[in-house]
Structure 1
Amino acid sequence: MDDDLRTVLLCTLRAPGRDPGRVLLTGWFSFPDGEATAGDVLAQQHMSAALAQAGIRHDTAWSPGFRPGALSLETARPRAYDTLLFVCGPVHGPQVAALHDRFRTCRRLAAGVSVVDPADPAATGFHAIVARDGTAAPVRHDLAARAPAGPLPPVAGVILSHGQGEYGGRRRHEDVNARITGWLAGKDCARVPTDTRLATDDWRLCATAEQFLALVSRFDVVVTTRLHGLVLALRTGTPVIAVDPVAGGAKVSAQARAMGWPALVDAAAPTQEVLDHWWDWALSEPGRMAAACHSMR
């Protein structure tokens, strides 16, 4: 059996003569004003799966801001649990220290955490800590490194125009962008905002056209309101959903038609149904093949 944090922790939970009872799984993802990071959530998934596999009943307390309606530290009844388990992040500061008071009737354990100050009440309040760093114990793999995860979703490059004042009263940019971003927020995808603007004094932007092409070529799909978002995505063989932000159509529509690219949406029509249709097509084999063909022209 490997000596990772999960194994050590389960041995601690099942110490001779002690029943772990029901466990409340917590972390920085539990605090109302805390942050739910990818690493923290993967650590939660790791321990939740390990507890389930070991037959240990458990619940997870989530931040209401991250998962509204789910069990939270506020709604969790301390006496309903025998053990509080805190995973990932630093055991440091007043928020963690407050857990010891609220859940004082529970056995309190921490796993996969960083011990910044061993004398901090946030750390000393735990009955046992299985740390990833900050103690004399050997450094172990972080819980997120071996956490179970589902299939990876597509990566969507998002290239939006916010200017183009030359179109005057025909501009629909604000409304179109709001519809696109609101729709994208509900899609299971990794969203990467980017810009066709180049700069040599801003590390967040590409400095050369080749850098931009390299970036776009890594996306699974591009959603854009910019002409060159459309043109350069297809140049790299990346499927693109082009939304023309100008009422009646302008250069985005003209270029999409010139290139024979079908995934074109009018400024008046970026509804969820229309965008979902082109999303599914762009990520399908026919959509990927159509984009690949454009890259060879």
Structure 2
Amino acid sequence: MRVLVTGWPSFVHGEATAGDVMSMSRVCDALASVEIPHDTAWSPGFRSDALHLDDADAERYSHLVFVCGPAHGEQVRFLHERYANCRRIAVGVSILDPADAAVTGFHRVLARDGLSTARPDMAVAASTVTVPVVGVAFAPGQAEYGGARRHRSVHRALTCWLRELDCARIPLDTRLTPDDWRRCRTPDQLESVFSRLDAVVTTRLHGLVLGLRAGIPVLAVDPIAGGGKVTAQAGALNWPALVHAEQTADAGAFEYWWRWCLSPDGRERARRREFPAADALTQDLLGELLAGWPA
């Protein structure tokens, strides 16, 4: 007995949603708990180094299990043809048309909806591991810096590094707007987002400022050769986790400060919010105004 676990994330032209992947993982955990040998097939577009359907020889398996999503369409019907020798079971699926060959091709269908009383999706019972939640705020082109701009290369290096990082990435935009639901309308709304993060990665001055203001450690990256306003602000706020544009070719610089930001020392440093002369500019302004004010 050997089971091949499949789902929409197994198809080259399918898609891998979090719910589908969690449901497939739940099935694998259940099989492992009773020591049933099994493999999982993944799309090469999702997991290039895993077992793919093209390499999962039907003769190796006694059973095929199709997990989650709608049981319909050519790709599901293809499984019945390719794995005709296997006992085929669909579990946690939605049934749109009980007469569809994609449905009737299964020997057994354990549906979450569409056949009888709805049952909880399998992702509810899946085991997960909590990872850091990271806000990512990139600066725009900043033409005012002229030839010193390194935004393209810096952001390319950052996104390559972030892509491999085991974390939940939240794109952030410090620009406010009253008519786009994807962006915040007020500073209070944006600050509420920052306060719920575990860390911030940013090439924006205000990404650094708002993260530290919320007590969240920030990995600041200056996209300006020779140092621009991000470098200046990190110094003014006495914040050490800064990577210069000239250092971004080495991912080790990101890694070092990333580990420090998530360490107890980094978290505590951010939590203390130690900003020397934090309101100096406001006081200087008032001094200028009041110096010429009539008595």
Question: How do 1:160-239 and structure 2 match up within 5 A?
Answer: 160-239=138-217
Q: Which of the pair has more CA radius of gyration?
A: 2
Counterpart pick for 2:126 among 140, 147, 151: 147
Residue of structure 2 equivalent to 1:11: none
Return the alpha-carbon distance in structure 2 between the equivalents of residues 147 and 164 of structure 1: 45
Residue of structure 2 equivalent to 1:128: 108
Conserved 8 A contact 2:26-2:125:
yes
Shift of 1:121: 1.0
Shift of 1:224: 0.4
Identity among equivalent positions (%) equals 55
- 2:68 maps to amino acid: C
Residue of structure 2 equivalent to 1:291: 270
Conserved 8 A contact 2:238-2:274:
no
- 1:148 maps to amino acid: S
Return the alpha-carbon distance in structure 2 between the equivalents of residues 174 and 167 of structure 1: 13
Counterpart pick for 1:75 among 47, 55, 59: 55
Question: What is the TM-score with the length of structure 1 in the denominator?
Answer: 0.90
Q: Does 1:91 align with 2:71?
A: yes
Return the alpha-carbon distance in structure 2 between the equivalents of residues 101 and 280 of structure 1: 49
Return the alpha-carbon distance in structure 1 between the equivalents of residues 173 and 237 of structure 2: 22
Conserved 8 A contact 1:240-1:263:
yes
- The alignment partner of 2:53 has SS state of coil
Return the alpha-carbon distance in structure 1 between the equivalents of residues 181 and 274 of structure 2: 28
Residue of structure 2 equivalent to 1:103: 83
- The alignment partner of 1:74 has SS state of helix
Q: Does 1:280 align with 2:259?
A: yes
- The alignment partner of 2:225 has SS state of coil
Return the alpha-carbon distance in structure 2 between the equivalents of residues 171 and 103 of structure 1: 56
Return the alpha-carbon distance in structure 2 between the equivalents of residues 128 and 289 of structure 1: 55
Shift of 1:104: 0.9
The two structures, once aligned, show a CA RMSD in angstroms of 1.1
Conserved 8 A contact 2:234-2:240:
yes
Question: What is the TM-score with the length of structure 2 in the denominator?
Answer: 0.91
Shift of 1:114: 0.5
Shift of 1:295: 7.0
Gaps of at least 5 residues in structure 2 are 279-295
Residue of structure 2 equivalent to 1:13: none
Conserved 8 A contact 2:237-2:274:
no
Return the alpha-carbon distance in structure 2 between the equivalents of residues 120 and 145 of structure 1: 27
Shift of 1:107: 0.9
- 2:32 maps to amino acid: A
* Structure 1 residue runs of 4 or more that deviate by more than 3 Å after TM superposition: none
- 2:37 maps to amino acid: R
Corresponding pairs, count: 275
Q: Does 1:264 align with 2:242?
A: yes
Return the alpha-carbon distance in structure 2 between the equivalents of residues 247 and 223 of structure 1: 18
